[in-house]
């Protein structure tokens, strides 16, 4: 590997923390900064503030050696050649990204630049943020020769964040000159040369020494748009398949077969064609809105993005209606809910469809017992237990005495339920699956009424399928 680079990562959330430990894993010297003192204390003392596969292992390997944790932004910037900004960019007014966290960090960086630095926007930001960072630094009197700003958007997915970072499909760098691009090439060299994958301790994954990660260098504007356009396109795929699922369901077709048939077309591909409750999380909803806002600002009609959002929001209502149709009335009903996280493999509940559905059910007068393998602590903070809402210790406890069991998050654990045991504990054998984790025939064979998304409803013979007018 070429000489290690001293790196400062600002923000120790899902992106910042993962980037920090992965850069350390690649052999660099990293200072990870956060202004949340409790988080930094936890990280220093050996804890991990987020649930992410391989994170504890990499923290154990590099904490206090390749990566240190601090609240001292100025000190960390001073000793670093590259400064990555990885703070939140939540949705602000009218869909625009709220860049106040980024601006606050840039103002602090401005006070700490002594000697050449590459300032890297890793947070997801609208086009021209690069320019704004440059402008803010100028306004604050920083010598233009002493820094470059570039864009290096992050494409990791929560749940597989470490593997995505170390085995990326691509690394995108938006730079205005070769000097700063060169720093990024050095940073990612272990992945682009393949030397990391050849090492004895490398986490094995998709990439290898003979098929290393590609790095695309482009302009800052293009890099910024690559990130927004990628997320918007993935969200579009999800909304598209959900719209097809609603059509499929109304004509007794099967969306799983339809998606399989579509996905076999190499021009379409099989990923992001799973019908369900729609997308959530801290990225897709806000990034679709922010990208739409950017287009509007530029006078470009990108109404398609608003349709993507609308279909996504409708999908939760469609599922809620399905629960109501299966149970007739909801007031006083007791429902088991499997899943709180916005998807399996993470403890992140931001914009989680599961949480939204649970809120709708509670508003309709049902009581809910929820279970999630990783997100219960976070969910408890947002939705504290009440007379109507409780949290179970496992999935069977959530299902015990329930009028129906709802599957809201695609955790692997929820696709491996012991159906015989479930049948024993549940009050009525009704499963309403918002993630299509089971084969309808399998559920029928186990004596369940099974409703899923975009597939024919399966009612036990003695019960009969309700007429449309009864739904
Ligand atoms: P997060 O909310 O998990 O983490 C942000 C961190 O920044 C927090 O720990 C916060 O305390 C810290 N912070 C805020 N202001 C600070 C300051 N002034 N100084 C130091 N630390 C500060 O956010 P995240 O999910 O990691 O996302 C960060 C960015 O990356 C966003 O722009 C997001 O859109 C983007 N992104 C996220 C993902 C994802 O899957 N979460 C994937 C790709 C890109």
Contacts of 138 (CB under 8 A, 6+ apart): 144
CB 28 within 8 A of CB 7: yes
> Is there a single domain that holds both residue 300 and residue 325?
no
Task: Ligand 1: list residues with CB < 6 Å.
Answer: 10-16, 33-36, 39, 73, 86-89, 101, 104-105, 123-124, 154, 156, 158, 282-283
The residue to which tokens 């399996």 are assigned: 344
CATH number at residue 247: 1.10.1040.10
What is the structure's pLDDT at 345? Answer: 93
pLDDT at 471: 47
Return the ∠ at Cα 91 (arms to 21 and 372), rounded to 5°: 60
Per residue in 382-413, pLDDT (tens digit) is 999 999 999 999 999 999 999 999 999 999 99
User: Could you read off the pLDDT of 49-104 as tens digits, one per residue?
Assistant: 999 999 999 999 999 999 999 999 999 999 999 999 999 999 998 899 999 999 99
Are the beta carbons of 350 and 342 closer than 8 angstroms?
yes
The residue whose CA has the least distance to atom 25 of ligand 1 is 14
Is 223 contained in some domain? no
Q: How much is the pTM?
A: 0.95
Q: What is the pLDDT of residue 462?
A: 72
Angle at which helices 129-139 and 100-110 cross, to 10°: 40
Question: How confident is the model at residue 271, as a pLDDT?
Answer: 96
Mutation pick for ligand 1 pocket among 10, 11, 72 (CB with most ligand atoms within 8 Å): 11
Give the number of C-alpha atoms closer than 13 A to the C-alpha of residue 453, restricted to the C-beta side.
28
Residue 138 sits in the same domain as residue 264: no
From the CA atom positions of the chain, what is the Rg in Å?
24
Beta strand segments in 258-349, E: 334-338
Helix (H) or strand (E) holding 30: strand 29-33
Nearest alpha carbon, ligand 1 atom 27: 88
Q: Any idea what DSSP says for residue 39?
A: H
Please check whether residue 438 is in contact with residue 338, taking contact to mean a CB–CB distance below 8 angstroms. Answer: no
Sign (positive or negative) of CA dihedral 407, 413, 419, 424:
negative
Predicted confidence band of residue 466 (pLDDT cuts 50, 70, 90):
low
Per-residue pLDDT, averaged over 216-242, amounts to 98
Instruction: Tell me, in angstroms, the distance from the centre of ligand 1 to residue 118's CA.
Output: 19
Query: What's the 286 CA to ligand 1 centre distance in angstroms?
Result: 13
Residues 124-161: b if buried by 16+ CB within 10 A, e if exposed = bbbbebbebbbebbeeeebeeeebbbbbbbbbbebbbb
Q: Give the residue whose CA is nearest to atom 17 of ligand 1.
A: 35
Residue nearest to atom 42 of ligand 1 (CA): 156
Distance of CA 461 to the CA centre of its chain: 40
390 occurs within a structural domain = yes
- For residue 86, how far is its CA from the centre of ligand 1 (angstroms)? 5
CB 452 within 8 A of CB 275: no
8 is catalytic: no
Whether residue 47 is contained in a domain is answered as: yes
Is residue 137 pLDDT above 60, yes or no? yes
Per the structure block, which two tokens stand in for 343? 């998807």
Question: Does 394 map to a domain?
Answer: yes
Q: Enter the DSSP assignment of 285.
A: H
Contact 122, 86 (CB under 8 A): yes
Co-location of 292 and 344 in the same domain: no
Which of 14, 19, 51 has the most ligand 1 atoms within 8 A of CB, as the residue to mutate? 14
Question: Would you say residue 395 lies in a domain?
Answer: yes
Residue 124: pLDDT band (50, 70, 90) is very high
CATH number for 36:
3.40.50.720
In a domain, 1, yes or no: no
Q: Does residue 417 sit in the same domain as residue 462?
A: yes
CA of 88 to the centre of ligand 1 (A): 4
- Going by CA atoms, what residue is nearest to atom 12 of ligand 1? 11
Contact 145, 249 (CB under 8 A): no
Q: Which of 8, 22, 32, 283 is catalytic?
A: 283
Q: Can you tell me the mean pLDDT for 231-246?
A: 98
Q: Is 266 found in the same domain as 358?
A: no
Q: Is the pLDDT of residue 468 over 80?
A: no
Cα of 85 vs centre of ligand 1, distance in Å, is: 9
CA of 17 to the centre of ligand 1 (A): 9
* Nearest atom within ligand 1 for CA of residue 125: 32
69 and 87 in a common domain:
yes
**Rounded to an integer, what distance in angstroms lies between the CA atom of residue 464 and that of residue 51?**
43
Looking at the structure, do residues 322 and 388 belong to the same domain, yes or no? yes
Quote the pLDDT of residue 463: 73
Angle at 79 between CA 115 and CA 109, to 5 degrees: 65
Please name which of 464, 341, 376 lies closest in space to residue 14, comparing C-alpha atoms.
341
Listed residues 246, 280, 311: the one ending a domain: 311
Tokens of 42: 């936890």
- Asked which of 273, 294, 311 is the last residue of a domain, the reply is 311
The token pair at 426 is 């549940």
Residue 225 lies in a domain: no
Q: Which residues pair with 216 in a beta bridge?
A: 172
* Atom of ligand 1 lying closest to residue 155 CA: 43
Q: Where are the beta strands (DSSP E) in 86-221?
A: 117-121, 147-151, 171-174, 215-218
Residue finishing a domain among 193, 218, 243: 218
Asked whether residue 361 falls in the same domain as residue 446, the answer is yes
Q: Are residues 105 and 252 in the same domain?
A: no
Number of domains in the chain: 3
Banded pLDDT at 464 (limits 50, 70, 90): low
Q: Which of 10, 88, 99, 171 to mutate to test the pocket of ligand 1 (most atoms within 8 A of CB)?
A: 88
The residue range of the domain holding 296 is: 233-311
Q: What is the pLDDT of residue 75?
A: 97
Q: Which two tokens stand for residue 400?
A: 């015990």
Which of 86, 91, 232 to mutate to test ligand 1, by most ligand atoms within 8 A of the CB atom?
Answer: 86
Ligand 1 atom nearest to 282, measured from its CA? 41
Residues 5, 188: Cα–Cα separation, whole Å:
10
Closest CA to 442 of 431, 453, 434: 431
150 lies in the same domain as 27: yes
Same domain, 190 and 332: no
Q: Mention every residue, 6+ apart, whose C-beta is less than 8 A from residue 312.
A: 235, 238, 239, 242, 278, 279, 285
Task: Using the mean position of ligand 1's atoms as its centre, give its distance from the Cα of residue 55 in Å.
Answer: 16
Q: Are 183 and 244 contained in the same domain?
A: no
Q: Per-residue pLDDT for 435 more than 80?
A: yes
What is the CA(97)–ligand 1 centre distance, in A? Answer: 13
Asked whether residue 388 is assigned to any structural domain, the reply reads yes
The residue whose CA has the least distance to atom 3 of ligand 1 is 13
């Amino acid at each position: 590997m070429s000489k290690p680079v001293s790196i400062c990562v600002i923000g120790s959330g899902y992106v910042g923390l993962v980037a920090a430990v992965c850069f350390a894993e690649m052999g660099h010297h990293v200072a990870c900064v956060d202004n949340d003192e409790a988080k930094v204390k936890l990280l220093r003392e050996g804890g991990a503030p987020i649930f992410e596969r391989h994170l504890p292992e990499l923290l154990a390997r590099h904490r206090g050696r390749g990566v240190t944790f601090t609240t001292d932004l100025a000190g960390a910037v001073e000793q670093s050649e590259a400064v990555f900004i990885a703070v939140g960019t939540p949705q602000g007014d009218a869909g625009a990204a709220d860049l106040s966290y980024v601006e606050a960090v840039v103002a602090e960086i401005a006070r700490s630049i002594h000697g050449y630095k590459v300032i890297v926007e890793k947070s997801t930001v609208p086009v021209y943020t690069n320019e704004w960072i440059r402008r803010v630094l100028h306004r604050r009197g920083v010598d233009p020769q002493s820094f470059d700003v570039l864009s290096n958007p992050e494409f990791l997915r929560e749940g597989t964040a470490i593997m995505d970072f170390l085995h990326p499909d691509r690394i995108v760098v938006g730079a205005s000159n070769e000097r700063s691009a060169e720093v990024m090439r050095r940073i990612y060299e272990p992945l682009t040369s393949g030397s990391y994958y050849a090492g004895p301790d490398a986490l094995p994954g998709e990439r290898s020494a003979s098929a290393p990660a590609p790095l695309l260098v482009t302009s800052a504007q293009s890099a910024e748009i690559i990130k927004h356009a990628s997320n918007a396109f993935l969200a579009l795929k999800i909304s598209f398949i959900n719209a097809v699922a609603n059509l499929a369901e109304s004509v007794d077709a099967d969306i799983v077969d339809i998606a399989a048939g579509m996905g076999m077309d190499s021009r379409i591909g099989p990923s992001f064609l799973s019908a369900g409750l729609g997308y959530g999380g801290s990225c897709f909803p806000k990034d679709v809105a922010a990208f739409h806002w950017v287009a509007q600002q530029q006078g470009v009609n990108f109404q398609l993005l608003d349709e993507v959002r609308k279909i996504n929001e409708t999908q939760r209502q469609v599922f809620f209606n399905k629960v109501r149709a299966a149970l007739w009335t909801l007031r006083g009903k007791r429902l088991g809910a499997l899943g709180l996280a916005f998807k399996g493999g993470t403890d992140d509940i931001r914009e989680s469809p599961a949480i939204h559905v649970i809120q709708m059910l509670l508003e309709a007068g049902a009581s809910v017992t929820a279970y999630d393998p990783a997100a219960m602590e976070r969910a408890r903070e947002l939705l504290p237990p009440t007379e109507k809402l409780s949290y179970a210790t496992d999935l069977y406890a959530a299902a015990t005495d329930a009028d129906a069991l709802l599957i809201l998050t695609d955790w692997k654990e929820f696709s491996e339920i012991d159906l015989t045991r479930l049948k024993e504990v549940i009050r009525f054998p009704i499963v309403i699956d918002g993630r299509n984790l089971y084969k309808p025939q399998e559920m029928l064979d186990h004596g369940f009424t099974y409703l899923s998304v975009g597939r024919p409803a399966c009612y036990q013979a003695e019960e009969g399928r309700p007429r449309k007018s009864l739904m």
